[in-house]
Structure formats: C-alpha cells, structure tokens
Structure 1
Amino acid sequence: MDNIYLFMLIAITILAVVDIVVGVSNDAINFLNSAIGSKVISLRTIMIVASIGIFIGAVFSSGMMEVARKGIFMPAQFEFSEIMLIFMAVMITDILLLDFFNTLGLPTSTTVSIVFNLLGAAVVMSLIKISASETETFAELGNYINTETALTIISGILLSVLIAFTVGAFVQWVSRLLFTFNYEKRIKSFGTIFGGVALTAITYFIFLKGLKGTPYYNELKGLLEGNEIFIILGSFVFWTLFSYLFELITKKSVLLFVIGVGTFGLALAFSGNDLVNFIGVPMAAYHSYEAYIAGGMDATMSMAVLQKKVPAEPLLLFIAGGIMVLTLWFSKKAKSVAETEISLSRQGETHEKFEPNRLSRSVVKGTTQLSSYFSVIIPQSVQDSISKSFNKPEILLSKDQSIDAPAFDMIRASVNLMVAGVLIAIATSMKLPLSTTYVTFMVAMGTSLADRAWGRESAVYRVAGVLNVIGGWFGTAIGAFVASGIVVFLINWNPKVMTPILLLLTVILLYRNYKSHKNKSNKTLEEDSLIKAESSSVQGVIHESAANIANVVKRGNKIYTNAINGLAKQDLDLLKKNKKQIIKLSQEVEGLRDNIFYFIKNLDESSVGASNFYINILGYLQDMTQSLEYISKVSHKHVNNNHKKLKFSQIKELKEIDESLDKLFNDTKDAFSSRSFEQIGNILNSKEEVFKILSEKIQKQVERTRSEESSPKNTTLYFGILLETKDLLKGTMNLLEEYHDAHDANVPIATIPVVDAVVEKDNIL
C-alpha cells in the first residue's frame, strides 16, 4: 500500500454505500410510519411515492454538504493526512453505530451520529496535534473546533425535540377538537378547507422553502422572494378547490391525497436534509484527495481548501439517491425500526414492546396529578365539551387484532406528515442539519399524547418506550463521540496496519448483526407454543384449552427433568437454558391471562359459563409454571453459587420422583393431545401413589437432617424442590379434576372432532 490515502478513499467510498444502507434502514420510519400506520394507502403505493420523494430530494441536497467539511471543525488547522484519518474513523464508527441500533429495532438520529462522530474524531486528533506541539496547550483546543457552528447545530437538534413535540401535540389537539374521532361527517363540511391548509403548508415549506438549500434556488430567486404572501394565498385557493374536486370526483376523503403528498414531501425533505449524513464525509474526502493530488501529493498540506464552497457533484447525488431507493425497498431492518414508533403511537391496546421503569411511573403519576389540578381550574362545562370531541368509537379489539388494525386515523396521519415536513423544511432552508428522526418521532409522540392514545392502561409502557428511545439518542451522541475518538487514535498510531484491521472488524460485526437480525426475523410459530382461546362456546373452549394443557405438560415435564439432571451433573449451561425456557413458558401463560377480557367479551350469551372454566384452567396453569420456575431458579442458583453437590442418595430420590412425574405427565399429555378425556379419571386415580412417594422422600430428608446432613444449603434446596414438586402436582391434579368435571357435564364433547383452528402466536416475548 504505497499510497495509503488512495486506499482510504476507496474504503471510504465503499463505506459510504454501506452507510446509506444502514442509515436509510433507520430513517425510513421518518416518512413511512404515518402512511403505514393509518393503512389507508397500500404499502406498494406508499413505497413508490416515498421512493420518488427520496430520489428527487437526494439530487437537490447539495447545499447541506458544507456541514461535513467545515461545520464541526476548522479544516485549515489540519493537514491532509490528519483529515483523511478523521474521515476514515468517522465512517467506520458511524456505520457500526447505526447498524447496532437497526439490529435492536430502535430509531436513532443519523444526524446526531455523524455530528458527534466528526466532533469526537476532530477533538482527539486536535489533542494529538496539541500534545505533539511544544508551543500549544490544551486550552487552545477551540482553535481546531468550529465551536460556534457546532454548538448551534447541537442546540438546534436538542431544541427540535421540544418544538416538535409541542407543535405536534397542539396541532393535533386543535384538529381533533374540530373533527373529533367520528370525523366522517365533519370532514364533508370542513375537509376541503383542512386539505387546502395542509397541502398549502406542504407546498410552501417543503417545495419552496426547501429550494433554498439547493444550487437551483438562484434561478428562481427573483420569482419567489417578495411574493411569499401571494404564493401562499394562491396555493390555498388552488388546493382548496382541488380538495373539493377530488372529493366530488373520487367520492373519497381528500385526506388520502394529503397523506400521499405528505409522504412524498417528507421523503423529499428527509433525503435533502439527511443525505449529508451518509455521503457528506466521503465527498469531503474526495475533494481533499483532489487537492492533495493538485498540491503535488504533499500529505502535510493544509486543508484550507475545504473552507471554500465547492460545486455540487450531480452524478454522485444521482447514485446516492438510487442506492437510497433500493435500500428502502429491500431493507428488512427498516421494518423492525418502524414497528417501534408505530407501537408507541398506536391508538388502541397492543403488545407493548417496553417494560415500565421507575422514571416512567414517576412521569405518569406526575402528569396525572397535574391534570387533576388543571381540572379544578377549568370549568366542568368546558371540560365536558372538549371531552365530547375525544370520545372514541366503541370498537373492541384484542391485542393481536390491533396489530392488523390501523394504528391511528387519517386525521393524525395528516398532522404527523404536515407538521414534521414543515419543521424539517424550515431547518433545511436555514442549512441546519436537523435530526429528522427526532422531529418525526417527537411529532408522532406529541400527536399521540394529544389524541389520548396514552391512556391509563398503556401510559406507563408508552412513556417507558419514549424514554428508552430518547435515552438511546443520548447514547448515540456519547457513543459516537467516544468511539470515533478511539478509532482515530488507533488509526493514527499506525495507519497502514490499523486501517485494514478496523475495516475487517467492521465487516465481521456487520455480518454478525445481519445474521442475528435475520435469525430473529425468521422466528416462526413454535410447535408447542400456547394459543389463545377464540371459541365462543364451552365445547370449543374445552378443545382449544386441551392443546394448551398438552403443550404446558410436555414442556413442563422437560423443564423438570432438565432441572434434576442439571443438579445431578452440575451442568450450569443446561440449568441456565432451562431457566430461560420456564421464563418463556410463564410469559406465554401470562399472555393468555392478559387476553381474558377479550375472551369473555367474545362469548356467546348462552356460553358465559365457559369463562369460569377458562379462568380456572389458566389459574392452574399459572400455578404449575410458578412451581417449575421456582425449581429451575433455585437449581440454577445453587450450582451457579458453587455450593456443595447434592448427595448421591438425594439425587437418586429426585430421579425416582422425576420418573413418576414423567409417567404422569406423559399420560396427561397423551390424553389431552388425543382429546381422550375419559382417560383423565385413570390418571386421577394414580395421584395418591405419587403423593406418597413425595411424602416418603420428605420424611427421609428430615431423618437425614437430624442424623447426618451437614449442609444447610443442600437441605434448603432439597426441601424446596420437594415442596414445590408437591405444589406442581397439586396444580396438575386440580387442572385434571376441572377437566374431568367439565367432561362429565358435557358428555357429547368426547365425540366432537378436533378443529384445527388457525391461531396466532402470543408474541409477548
């Protein structure tokens, strides 16, 4: 590698392609979620509209490229060799950081990532230069960093979070107050005006304001400047008339067109603002290399050339736009990231992706108290009037059904697109690299709050999710700063050695994340997964529950056996795996209990008695899983803490118990799998034998403890396993008796063929 810098430029160019792929995978949520969440336009149409917007926005985005060259650091203070090291470190770190968030399915900011990568690498390179100088001190770090611009960018990004949330919430609140959730009637009266306002805002701010960030603005400057009011009024008249004709001709709401145009405009604004995050650094590296060649290949030359305004590279922008479009169509990770924002903004109940934490609980409690204080100040009549606008139609959907239903209506989708597009376009016109992710995400969260999507049932989960995402944003900034600084330090130590090593490491990590995400995405319904009862009759519930019982008994039998074998062999890996299995089973049973409300609502009037049977069955299943969970956890804890092994006699006795339970559980599984409920009586008749074995083992351990046992830990463990085994057996027998009684009361059930219902897996995990 005689010319290490040519190698770096080639590597940076390849990394730029990868960066576009991982960047668009994360940022696709910014312009797709509103249209996808409302489900009023087909996914194919949404993708086509967004693709056109992305491509046009990319070709017109050159005005933002200045940020990567001189927005964060003073290029004149660095030599060519140092600039190339900075750019190399930034690209490596940026790709790995964004891909990490994509794999987790969390939206993060490509803008924050690139800004703090540049800042971290520039700061560390500056410190290296200062430490090598005899005249400079660390106090002169400000000479190397474009402090004023960097602070403006960072403060603008942070301020955008508050502005986006506030504006989104206010506009949505006003829109909902005007149209209500039953907006079909009012949209006929005010829809054309709403469409005119929304489309005028999109037209002016995105298409006209957005032009200021492009090299083509000078050609239109004379027509636009000074005529803004006429353009706005003309646009409003035109779009209002268009909205009226659209509804008259198509017999459909103009909101469909608003969502389509909004998606196009937001995609255009996104690529115009965010393309600098992906190719700004590679283009700066290319211009630096051009200056290096023109300057006689002097690696010590100053990079003051980057201070100058350089012409756009239309071909590079064209290629970048094409790559962005292809990524949008083929990236599976984009869909994972999109699910997070949609689930947090969904109007109805759904499977929550985040667990509540102390901070989310505090926020919810605080806002609830604050709301109660305001309710005292605001007259009750005003509150009642406002509440009428926020009354939602009574549509009962289970959590599984809510996944296929629209996450929100067209009113909220239109507001999301309009507000986010306007804010991003304003920032683009000011040449501020605003975080499109922050803006679109916080607008969506603000409109969700205003729409009262975060009710008492879901608020603590949704707030936890928002806090997790925002925490990830701060993690992005800190991680990008630290990681890029470390990488530039390593490359500077020995560029010819460290550059290939770090590139190889990048490829390995990207492939590993790809395989991890692919395996996670390809998870299918496991054979023994539990299913939710969907029948509306007693007979149907009995047969559906039989499949669950057979699966719980089968999996429980294996879990119990693995716990005993793990103790006998001191196999920590087996016990650890076993512990995960019982936690998974417990969560699936808990998921069935979460569905009880929807199950009872779905019952026929003549079959309400099935609810009592189903609730009892779930209670016994939970008793069984709790006993198995205790046995698995204490076994794992005992071996993990390296306590003394159980005695041979104790292991032998546990094996005998396991053999007895194995026969009992296998007979139970066969009875429920084949729906041979008449066999339950025979199984119940054998329960005394198993209880007798357990009582004998407990008595033997009591005698051992008094005469020979010397380990308190072993005694505690052994008694704990025996007693929980007894509880496990009681839960199993109670369940069998419940079924036995139900079978006697519904004798015809035995002749009913098994119905292979198509059911969905409980995606609680």
Structure 2
Amino acid sequence: MENIYILMLIALIALAAIDLVVGVSNDAVNFLNSAIGSKVVSMKTIMIVASIGIAVGAIFSSGMMEVARKGIFNPGEFYFDEIMIIFMAVMITDVLLLDFFNTLGMPTSTTVSIVFELLGAAVAMALIKIAVSDTETVANLSQYINTEKAVLIISGIFLSVIVAFSIGALVQYLSRLFLTFNFEQKPKIFGALFSGIALTSITYFIFMKGLKGTAYYKDIEGILEGSELYIIGMSFVLWTSLSFVLTRFLNVNLYKIIITVGTFALALAFAGNDLVNFIGVPMAAWNSYEAWTASGVPASEFNMSVLAGKVPTPTIFLFIAGLIMVVTLWFSSKAKKVAATEVNLARQSEGHERFQPNSLSRVIVRGTLGVTKGLSFVLPKSMQKNIGKRFEKPVVNLPKKKVFELPAFDAVRASTNLMVAGILISIATSYKLPLSTTYVTFMVAMGTSLADRAWDRESAVYRVAGVLNVIGGWFFTAFIAFVTAAIFTYLIHLGSITAVSLLLFLVLFILVRNFVKHKEEEKETAQKKVLKREELITAKEVIEETSDHISEVISRANKLYSNVVINLSLQELSKLKKTDKHVLKLNAEVDALKDEAFYFIKSLDDSSVEASRFYLMVLGYLQDISQSISYISKASYKHVNNNHKQLKTDQIEDLKVIDDQLSTMLKEISAIFHERRFGDISRVVDEKEELFEHVSKSIERQINRIRSEESSAKNTTLYFGNLLETKDLISAIMNLLELYQEFHFSMKKANIEV
C-alpha cells in the first residue's frame, strides 16, 4: 500500500516542476511588463535583474507554505489517504488550467487557481465523508473547511482588484500632475523627490515588511518593530539626496534606476508570494508522507492534524524551485504571448486593438463620458485648463522608420506601476495573505493607463472590453478550478491509482498537444508575411510587402476554394465546417488590414503618397476575394448541413473543371508575386477569358437543366450562387492584377526604384 503513496508523491513532485514552468510563463508579465513597455532598460538587463529577484524571493518564501496546508481546509478533519487525493486533484487541475490560459495568451491568477482548487477538492472530499457518515449532514461541511481563513483570502484577492485599480489611478494622476509628460525638462529636484518616494516605498515594503513572511525576521524583529516611521524618514532623506546627486552631477537617469530596482522588487515579491502556488501542495504532501510513515498507522486512520503546525520548507527545495523559475523566465516563449495582452491594453499610442467592444464596455465608456461632462460644469474653467496642460503630450519628431521603436508608455508610468504593485504585494506577503500578483499588477497597470489618459475616445471602448475580458477570465478561473478539482477528487476516490494514472496521461497528452500547437502557431507567424504598416515608407517597400501578402492570400484562397468543391461533392459536413472557420480567419485578417489603413497612410513619406491609393485599392480587392470565398463556403456548408439533395454528377464535374482551371491560374499568380515576376501579369490577364467562358457555359447548362430535368430549387440556388460568386472572385483577382500592373509601370515610368 505504501508504494501507491510513493508513486503519488513522485507524481506530485513532477507536477510541481511542470506547474512552476506553466505558472511562471503566465506570471512573468507581472514584473516584466513595465520595463518591457517603457523600453528604458535593455531586455537583457531586465532579465538578469528579474532572475536575481526571483532567486532571492524563492529562498525567503518558506513562511507562505502554510497556506497550502491549513489556509483553506482544516487538516485535522481528514486522514492521510484523503489528503493525498486532495493534493493530487489540485495539482493536476492547476497544471491543466494554467497551461490552458498560457495557450490563449491571457493573464490569469495562479493564486486564485490554487485557492479555489484546494477549496473545491476539500469540499468534494468532505461531501464524500459526509455521504458515508450516519451522523453528519451537509450542515457539518463548515467543520471541514477553514471558513474564516478562506473567506479572508478570497475577499482579499477580489478586493485587490478594486484597491489596485484605484490606488494605481490615484498615484499616477498625482505623479503626472507633479511631473507632466515633459518630466525630463523639469528641475532636477522634481525627479529626485519622485525617485526618493518611489525607492523609499520599494525598499521599505520589500526589504522590511516583506521579511515578515520569512523565517529570518526573528533575528531583526527587535530592531524594526516600533521604528517604522524613523526608517521611512531616513530612507526618504537618503534616497532623495542620493538621487539629486546622481542626476545633478552625474546626469544619471533616475527612472532607469527606479524601473530596475522596481523590477527586482516585484520579482522578489512575486517569488515570495507565489511560490506557494506551485510547490506548496507538493511540500504539504511531502510533510504528510513523512509524518504518516513515522507513525505506523494505516493511511485511512492517520489523522492529518500534524499539518496544522508550522513546518519550515527545506532550503534546497526552495533553491531548486527558484532555479526552475529562472530558467523558465529566460526560455518560455508563451510568456511573450501573455505579455502582449497587458502591454497592448496599457499603451499610450493608438493601433490595432485585440479585443472587440461589447455592450457593457460601451455602457461604461458612455457613462464615464457623462460623468466627465458633468464635472466640466462643476470645476472652474481655469482649473480644467491648468490640469489639461499638465496632461499635454509632447510631440516627438522621429524619422518615420523609427516610429515603431517608441515605447508603449513612458518611464513615469512604468515607475508608478512597479512602485504601487510592489507595495501592495509586499503588504499582503507580510501578513501571509496569498494576494494575487496578477490581479494587482494588471489592475495597477490599467488604473495608471486610465489616469494617464491613454484610453481616449478612439480606443476606450476596446480597452475597457479587453479589461472586462481579462477579469471575466479570472472569474472563469475560480469557477473552473473549483469544479474541476472537485470532479478529479471524486474520480480519484473512485478509481484510486487507476484514476490517477489516467489523469496523469491526460495531463501529458494535453501538454504535448498544446506545445505542438504553440510551436506550429509560432512557425506560422514567422512564415506569414504580415504588412508592417509602421515601417512601410517607400513605394518599393509597399511593392515588396504587398506582393508577399497577395501571394499568401491568393494561395490560401486557392486551397479554400478547392476544399469547398471537393467536400461539397463528397457531402463532408465536418470538413466544410472546418474550411468555413479558415475562411472566417482569412476575412478577419483582411478586415484588420483595412482597419489600420490610417496608420499606413501616416507612415508614408511625401514622395510615396501615390502608394496610399494603391494600397487602399489592393486591400479592397483582397476583401472582395475573401468575401467571395466566404459566400461560397457558407452557402455550401449550409446546403449540406440542412441535408438538402446532393449536387448532380454533371454539376459536380463542371465545378471540378472550373476548380482545376482556377487552381492552375491561382498557383501561377501566387508564384508571380512571390518571385516578383511582374512582367508575367499580362499573360495571366489574357488567359482569364477562357475561365470566364467556362463559367458562363456552366450557367447556361444549368438553365437548360432547369427547363428539362432539374427538380430541386435548393440545388439550383446553391449552384447558381457558387458560379456567380466564382465570376466575382475571378473579376476581383483580375482587377487586382491590372492594378498592380498599372502601379508597377507608373513607378518605373517615374524612375522610382521598385
């Protein structure tokens, strides 16, 4: 029997290692995004500083491990075999849940996931015990769950959303009023004062308050207790004086120091607070196993009240965990995908918005505009004017080819993000509350963005929708974590080691599948020729980039059209549905390009203005192509999905002939643009008549069938619709070719290199 628990313990340790990887991939953005978005410090420097912070924080996090042992449930109410089932269900759920969010590129809370997994698994096990008991009812559930502590933790986690957003917005608003966007031109003392406040906050709360969560605090407790105000005052004077000297006489960039120290502090706070989320459960399982083996009592009779005591985590385990976290930080590609979400929502500039507006975001923005309008009648005009001047953004005159190098936000906002988030997380750590670092850092960043007027009327509805999507994902995390952990607990209780083996196989299968899928997406992104609108500044670059993009769209349209014809002839409903999804993706990509035409036109230099008209017309024809494919795909899928009669053999043969001819032509067009053989365009244009003629003859033959033998109105509607849309598709392609031919010729005539 002991061998079963040894295997479970090994599995838990392996899951802990995996959980560290998937957890850090999601949480790395919490302490990296401010530095990444501001671009004040090089990426290499930030990674080194963050790595040191994680390593130090991991070593100091021993005190937080108690949350996994007794923070959510009362261990004395469970036996060893039951505790191991709870821990196994929690870790399996956690790995699957975090990897799911990493794959989506959405930041979620590792703290919320572990808390609700422990709660769900403990509730499920408690209900199992109550079900087999003759004396207990559901009313006895409260004796199994540490209700007071659980409510405190959960309320603290969700309260942090409001607190972090509000404090972030307030501090940023005051900072901007004090420093403005022209902070670099302000007197040196201004920057020194801001630096003194920021560095004092970071050092005190991280290195003083943060130590309360560690085993090392006892050695210095007598020195620190009662001297807080003195320490704060001395720190402020020291940091402000040092900052003034550095900026006045050595011309040091104080904001670079703040962001570097803040990143270190936030990485340290992250490791100190969040390490429990990844290894707290396996460590509790290890302590449980040691206590059980030493007792000699059967697993089903050994009471786990031993977990209620304080058991320090061996430093070697903390060191190994810290090492895994650091390695993951350097090599995880999924972390970049998650990071992009927060940076895009917080950026000061306009651009492509990832999230689409919804009804709630529109209501919130409309209500905020109403409140703002109301305040304009209350506040004196002079005050409004003065405040407005403090928020005026400086005009940055950069070469157009350098515009894309602008940071997402400035150093003041990055410093505020790090300062406020570090303080809030450190306070929670000092009181041993597993505050969600994701909730805090994300909501602080959103609060500072709002206060900094990064969400204007052009972008607010999209940004608010993005924030609501992320917050909705957090509630989804809590619900799924609770339910899934409860289900896994019940399954393991029923199936014992067999259920554990199957669930571990499920974990392995999903992790491998998601890894392969992620690598394929990375490869597809690397190979995809995406128009870099902010870098397109000359006619030659327009020709180069649009050629690659047209080649790709034509190639995809060719494949999609052939798939529809083949699957329609075979009545393959599932494959038609899959093709329709790919068609929707193509449409979305082309629509996104049209939405960003404004930024493209702004990026052109004065000598390439003619390229604006060309670019817009290219996008128009690409949209016509994608819409024609979309109509053909949707009509075919709808026909088969509604179980209408299959197309007749001669109808299918006509479509296949058209597909063969169209495929040959589209392959040639794709090759022309890929290889830049623009001189061959005229030859392809001349061949279009043959294809048009075949489509026209197919229409005539169908008319004759209707008058003589055709009895299905649905077949006729589908067939006519596909043929007519095919003609529109060919026309759009030919118009695109003629446009390209004309533009290419005009550029040569004007002696412009293409």
Taking structure 2 as the reference length, what is the TM-score of the superposition?
A: 0.92
Which residue pairs with 1:113 in the alignment? 113
Q: CA deviation at 1:554?
A: 4.4
Preserved CA contact (<8 Å) 2:259 2:415: yes
Q: Which moved more, 1:625-634 or 1:303-312?
A: 303-312
Alignment correspondent of 2:609: 608
Number of the residue aligned with 1:371 = 372
The secondary structure found in structure 1 opposite 2:252 is coil
CA distance in 1, matches of 2:537, 2:318: 59
Letter in 2 for 1:10: I
1:618 aligns with 2:599: no
Structure 1 pair 302–187 and aligned structure 2 pair: CA distance change class (3 A): farther
CA contact (8 A) 1:349 1:398 kept: no
The alpha carbon displacement at 1:215 in A equals: 2.1
Q: CA deviation at 1:439?
A: 0.6
Instruction: After TM superposition, give the deviation of residue 390 of structure 1 in Å.
Output: 1.9
Residue in structure 2 matched with residue 406 of structure 1 by the alignment: 407
* Number of residues of Structure 1 aligned to a counterpart in Structure 2: 753
SS at match of 1:454: coil
2: CA distance between counterparts of 1:171 and 1:618?
44
User: 2:16 matched to which residue of 1?
Assistant: 16
Q: Does the residue aligned with 1:47 lie in a helix, a strand or coil? A: helix
Contact 1:354 1:465 (8 Å CA) reproduced:
yes
Following superposition, the deviation at residue 535 of structure 1 comes to 5.7
Q: Verify: 1:268 aligned to 2:268, yes or no.
A: yes
Distance 1:16 1:673 in 2: 48
Q: Is 2:364 the counterpart of 1:382?
A: no
Residue 459 of structure 2 corresponds to 458
The offset of 1:51, in angstroms, is 1.6
* 1:614-664, Cα deviation, whole Å (9 max, x unpaired): 323322232222212211221233234332111122223334444554565
For 1:676 and 1:497, the matched residues in 2 are separated by: 62
Shift of the 399–462 alpha-carbon distance from structure 1 to 2, 3 Å rule, reads farther
Change (3 A) 1:326 1:615: closer
Q: Per the alignment, do residues 651 and 531 of structure 1 end up closer, same or farther by CA in structure 2, a change over 3 Å counting? A: farther
Report the Cα offset of residue 550 of structure 1. Answer: 4.8
Structure 1 contact 533–544 (Cα < 8 Å) conserved: no
Question: For the Cα contact (< 8 Å) 2:283–2:313, is it kept in 1?
Answer: no
Deviation at 1:90, TM superposition (A): 1.5
Q: Deviations over 1:89-137 (max 9, x none)?
A: 2222222222222222221111111111111111111111111111111
Question: Which structure 2 residue ranges, 5 or more long, are not aligned?
Answer: none
Check conservation: 1:397, 1:598, Cα contact below 8 A. Answer: no
- Report the counterpart of residue 762 of structure 1 in structure 2: none
Change (3 A) 1:657 1:83: closer
Residue aligning to 2:338 = 337
For residues 62-141 of structure 1, the aligned pairs below 5 Å read 62-141=62-141
Report the counterpart of residue 61 of structure 1 in structure 2.
61
Alpha-carbon contact 2:16-2:278 (below 8 Å) kept? yes
Cα separation, 1, equivalents of 2:401 and 2:128 = 56
Cα distance between partner residues in 1 of 2:449 and 2:435? 22
In structure 2, what is the Cα distance between the partners aligned to 1:437 and 1:522? 29
Range with bigger deviation, 430-439 or 726-735: 726-735
Q: Note the C-alpha offset of 1:249.
A: 4.9
- Is the 1:30–1:440 Cα contact (8 Å) retained in structure 2? yes
1:555 CA displacement? 4.0
Change (3 A) 1:271 1:460: same
Q: Does 1:245 find its partner at 2:245?
A: yes
What is the aligned partner in structure 1 of residue 46 from structure 2? Answer: 46
Q: Hey, what's the Cα distance between the residues in 2 that align with 1:105 and 1:431? A: 29
Task: Please show how residues 554-565 of structure 1 align to structure 2 within 5 Å.
Answer: 554-565=555-566
The answer to whether residue 228 in structure 2 is matched with residue 217 in structure 1 is no
Equivalence for 1:467: 468
| Distance in 2 separating the partners of 1:666 and 1:711 | 35
In 2, Cα distance between the equivalents of 1:27 and 1:670?
44
Amino acid at match of 2:591: E
Deviation, 1:549, is 4.4
> Which whole-Å deviations, capped at 9, do the CAs of 1:471-529 have from their partners, x for residues lacking one?
11111111111111111112222423323332233233222222222332333443776
> Aligned-pair distance for 1:455?
2.2
Partner of 1:228: 228
- CA shift, 1:180, in A, is 1.6
Q: Is the CA contact 1:59–1:318 (under 8 Å) kept in the aligned structure 2?
A: yes
CA separation in 1, counterparts of 2:674 and 2:501? 58
Structure-2 separation of matches of 1:246 and 1:634 = 70
Q: Please identify, of 41-50 and 374-383, the stretch whose mean Cα deviation from structure 2 is larger.
A: 374-383
Structure 1 gaps of 5+ residues are 755-765
Q: Which amino acid aligns with 1:241?
A: S
Q: 1:180 to 1:78 in 2, by over 3 A?
A: same
- Bigger mean CA deviation after superposition, 722-731 or 227-236: 722-731
**Residue 711 of structure 1 corresponds to which residue in structure 2?**
712
Cα pair 2:351 2:599 within 8 Å, conserved:
no
Q: Deviations over 1:349-371 (max 9, x none)?
A: 24333233333333333323333
- In 2, Cα distance between equivalents of 1:701 and 1:250: 85
Moved more, 85-94 or 11-20: 11-20
2-side partners of 1:690 and 1:16: how far apart?
62
Q: What's the counterpart of residue 570 of structure 1? A: 571
Cα pair 1:350 1:402 within 8 Å, conserved:
no
Residue 671 of structure 1: how far off its partner (Å): 6.1
- Give how far 1:594 is off: 3.2
Question: Structure 1 CA distance, aligned partners of 2:154 and 2:680?
Answer: 71
User: Where in structure 2 are the equivalents of 1:28-39 lying within 5 Å?
Assistant: 28-39=28-39
CA distance in 2, matches of 1:632, 1:399: 41
Distance 2:403 2:503 in 1: 45
CA shift in 2, pair 1:547/1:42, >3 Å: closer
Query: What is the Cα deviation at residue 743 of structure 1?
Result: 5.9
Please tell me whether the aligned partners of residues 540 and 753 of structure 2 are also in contact (alpha carbons under 8 angstroms): no
> Separation in 2 of the partners of 1:740 and 1:331?
45
Q: Which moved more, 1:236-245 or 1:531-540?
A: 531-540
Measured after TM superposition, the shift of residue 446 of structure 1 is: 0.8
Q: Aligned equivalents of 1:445 and 1:32: distance in 2?
A: 15
Q: How does 1:134-533 map to 2 (within 5 A)?
A: 134-186=134-186, 188-299=188-299, 300-395=301-396, 404-526=405-527
Kept in 1: contact 2:351–2:596 (CA 8 A): no
Give the SS at the match of 2:208.
Answer: helix
SS in 2 for 1:522: helix
Q: 2: CA distance between counterparts of 1:5 and 1:682? A: 74
Is the 1:529–1:551 contact (alpha carbons within 8 Å) kept by the matching residues of 2?
Answer: no
Question: What amino acid is the match of 1:69?
Answer: R
Shift of 1:599: 3.1
Distance across 2 between alignment mates of 1:114 and 1:400: 46
Quick one: structure 1 residues 119 and 554, their matched pair in 2 at CA, closer, same or farther if it must change by over 3 Å?
A: closer
Q: Distance in 1 between matches of 2:347 and 2:464?
A: 13
In 2, are the aligned partners of 1:74 and 1:145 still within 8 Å (CA)? yes
Helix, strand or coil at the partner of 2:186: helix
* Amino acid across the alignment from 1:496: I
More moved, 130-139 vs 550-559: 550-559
Query: Greater shift after overlay, 392-401 or 233-242?
Result: 392-401
State the distance in 2 between where 1:463 and 1:138 align: 41
TM-score by length of 1: 0.91
Q: Which moved more, 1:407-416 or 1:355-364?
A: 355-364
Sequence identity (%) = 59
Distance 1:422 1:402, change over 3 A: farther
User: CA-to-partner distance for each residue in 1:384-423, whole Å, 9 max, x for gaps?
Assistant: 2222222223458999987653221110110001000101
Cα distance, 1:158 vs structure 2: 0.7
Q: How does 1:574-723 map to 2 (within 5 A)?
A: 575-659=576-660, 661-662=662-663, 665=666, 690-723=691-724
